[in-house]
Every structure is written in C-alpha cells, then in structure tokens.
Amino acid sequence: MKIHEYQAKDILSRYGIPIQPGKVAATPQEAEEIAREFGVPVVIKAQVYVGGRGKAGGIQFGDTPEQAREAASRVLGMNIKGLTVQKVLVVPKLEIKEEYYLGIVLDRKSQAPVAMVSAAGGVDIEEVAATTPEKIIRRLIDVDRGLPAYEARQILADAGVPSLVIAKGGTILSALAQAFIGSDAQLAEINPLALTVDGQVLAADAKILIDDNALSRQKEYAAWAEPEDANPIEYEAHAAGLASYVKLNGNIGIVANGAGLAMATLDMVARSGGQPANFYDFGGGAKAELLKKALLFLARDPDVKGILVNIFGGITRGEEVARGVIMAQAELPKGMPVVVRLSGTGEAEGRAMLADAGLTWGYDMRDGAQKIVAAIKERA
C-alpha cells in the first residue's frame, strides 16, 4: 500500500527520526496559516502517490505567508502524472548543505531486507544504481536483531558519508530499520537525508510502502488508504471486495482464475489483436454470485466493450461459472459480447447451460480470445 510523504514522516518520527515540523493543508488558506505558525520561508510539497513531483512543479516555495497561500493555490488541483493534488505538506524551508540517500528494501534473492546507503542523495537512486552501482553500499538486515547503530555507522562510513554526519546518521538508519520492520514495510526510504548549514541531520523527504498482506495487523496504517484518482475504479473494486482487480488500458474485460492464467490470458488476447481493459482474478472455488458481481463491475468501466471469462476449473465448478455469467447477463449493458471459456470440473454441464442461454463459449483459451476480439470488431 502506498502512503503519502507526510504519513511516512509520521511513522519515521515515531521511531525518533528527526523531521521538519509542519502540517498538511487542503486549501491555500490553511497553507498560509501553517506558514504563519511555523515561520517563513516555507516549502509547499504536493502529496501524491508518484515520484518526480518536483520536476512536474509540485514543489514550490513561499517567502511570506501570502506567497505560501499563492504557491499552495498553484499546487493544489495540479495534475501530476494523472493524479490530482488534493493535499500539500507545508514545512519550513531548510538550508541544505549536503544530501544523502538511506533506503531499505526487501531483497528477494537473499530473502532479507537490505539497507542501501549512498553519499549521493536527493537524486534518482535507480539512476545511481544503474550508472555507478559502486556508490551504493548494501548490507543485509537481520529482522530479529534489527540494524544496530554501530553497523549502521559502518555502512555510512563505507558509503563515504562525512564524519560530521556519521553519529546522527547511524542512529537514523538504525531507526529506519526498526520502522521498516515495525510497519511491515516493503520499502522505507529517506531521500534526501539532509545535512543543514546549521548542522542538523534530518529526513527531508520520505517514502514508505506497506506490505498489503500485513495490513490486517497494521490497522492504523491500513486506515490511511485512499483512492488514487488515476485509478478510482481500482480503489472501488478493492473496497467492494474484488481485491485482485487491475485496471489496464484497452477495451476487453477479463475474468480468469489464478494470476498466472490471467496473465497468459492477457497475452493471448493481445496476440489475437485485442487490448485488455482490466482483469479480475476470480481465485479458486469461487461462487456464481461473486462472478456476477465481478462481471458487472468490469462492465462499469466505460472502456470495456466486451468480456472474456477464462476459467480452468479445479475446485471451481463449471456450473457455478455458467450460473454466474447467466445471472450477470441480464444486467450487463445491452448487446455487450461475453465469451466464456470453461474447462475442467463441470465443463460439460457449464457449456450446456451457456448454450441454452445463448452465450458464446470458447473451446480453449486461444479460441475464446479470438472470439471476443472478433465480436468486438463486429460491433464497432
């Protein structure tokens, strides 16, 4: 789950990591009041779920409270990579002398979190990793032991972070590891960690991603979920209990059971000349009512011109699939083509029910994909 910068900083401060004072504003008026409360000059930072907001104009400055209000009115409502800015973080501007990078991610290969530090912070770390990987120092973290401060200091020293920053920076990196473990993060990043001209060391920006599978035990953070307006349909789907719904860019809705089969179905549709609009992974052993709900949800997306259902029944029964599609058919937009491909448990019964209801079925995945692509072309 993505969270905003101000929320990530909230988590970091709970672990004792210094951050700038400041508050979130939803209106220019609020931004002005915050600037008065905390003192000018201030920085106005767009709170959106994407990187690269600075280049997009989502970070602006105000030397007076009035300017803060004007800056906020420019940033609020701004569109950044398809997302509308609804909140800004207002913080006193720092006099930054140097910037460093501290990050922790899960390393799949070593099956442990890895701490990454670079003395070159404030930039795109993926770029640094690609061009000068030797400038990033990596060290695995033992999740039970955490990252003791002395180890953290050594990593910073190895990365070439100056002596002046080692003590404070080591404590911060150690705390970042605690925050990562304590919040079930998949990524926890401070970029930049700033050294100010007056010698403070603090997290000037932060990013945390929380493991979706852990949200049921991270209830406070789970409550921070909010719709991404680049993807309001996905948010709604998840809220409606269709957790595996994914929005794509084409015009064919796809229901399949199992993630691997769903991906292979998308590939097959593309190969047949179609473009998937979205997909829903129906999972195993699911019931007709859930399939109906999923189909109606898929069809609500205005991009969807037809739907392909691809089910290989193991525990999922063909009759349940057929019943779900037939139940949904009456409520789907008139004339919207639906092709059902059914194999495995109960396939004969399911196919007979579909034929009786006048629905098209595909012999296999390829046949199903070709039929839905053809049906949509025919209507266009």
Which residues are known to be catalytic? Answer: 101, 189
The Cα–Cα gap between 282 and 139 comes to 40
Write down the least CB distance from residue 264 to another protein, Å.
4
Write down the least CB distance from residue 88 to another protein, Å.
24
Confirm or reject binding of residue 123 to another protein (CB under 8 A). no
Confirm or reject binding of residue 249 to another protein (CB under 8 A). yes
Rounded to 5 degrees, φ, ψ at 277 are -95, -30
Nearer to another protein, 40 or 187 (CB): 187
**DSSP state letter for 119:** S
Whether residue 204 contacts residue 99, with contact meaning beta carbons closer than 8 Å, is answered with yes
The Cα–Cα gap between 30 and 7 comes to 18
Q: How far is CA 218 from CA 5, 16, 368, in A?
A: 18, 19, 42
According to CB under 8 A, which one of 226, 267, 289, 331 is a site residue for another protein? 267
The Cα–Cα gap between 187 and 131 comes to 22
Residues in the chain: 380
What one-letter code names the amino acid at 378? Answer: E
Per DSSP bridges, beta strands 252-256 and 276-281 are parallel
What residues between 141 and 200 interact with another protein by CB under 8 A? Answer: 143-144, 181, 184, 186
Within 10 angstroms of residue 235's Cβ, the number of other Cβ atoms is 17
The Cα–Cα gap between 17 and 91 comes to 16
According to CB under 8 A, which one of 131, 198, 216, 380 is a site residue for another protein? 216
Whether residue 128 contacts residue 120, with contact meaning beta carbons closer than 8 Å, is answered with yes
Nearer to another protein, 1 or 195 (CB): 1
Confirm or reject binding of residue 266 to another protein (CB under 8 A). yes
According to CB under 8 A, which one of 114, 261, 327, 352 is a site residue for another protein? 261
Write down the least CB distance from residue 49 to another protein, Å.
11
Neighbouring residues of 272: CB distance < 8 A, sequence distance ≥ 6: 366, 369, 370, 373
Cα–chain center distance at 46: 17
Q: Which range, of 157-165, 166-174, 248-256, 354-362, touches another protein by CB under 8 A? A: 248-256
Confirm or reject binding of residue 88 to another protein (CB under 8 A). no
Q: Which range, of 84-92, 107-115, 146-154, 325-333, touches another protein by CB under 8 A? A: 107-115
Q: Which range, of 92-100, 103-111, 321-329, 331-339, touches another protein by CB under 8 A? A: 103-111
Nearer to another protein, 21 or 82 (CB): 82
Nearer to another protein, 72 or 188 (CB): 188
Please name the helix (run of DSSP H) or strand (run of DSSP E) that holds residue 294, with its range, or none: helix 288-300
Nearer to another protein, 66 or 212 (CB): 212
Write down the least CB distance from residue 86 to another protein, Å.
21
Please name the helix (run of DSSP H) or strand (run of DSSP E) that holds residue 132, with its range, or none: none
Q: List residues near another protein by CB under 8 A.
A: 106, 108-109, 111-113, 126, 130, 143-144, 181, 184, 186, 211-214, 216-217, 244, 246, 248-249, 256-264, 266-268, 270-271, 276, 279, 281, 284-285, 312, 314-315, 343-345, 364-366
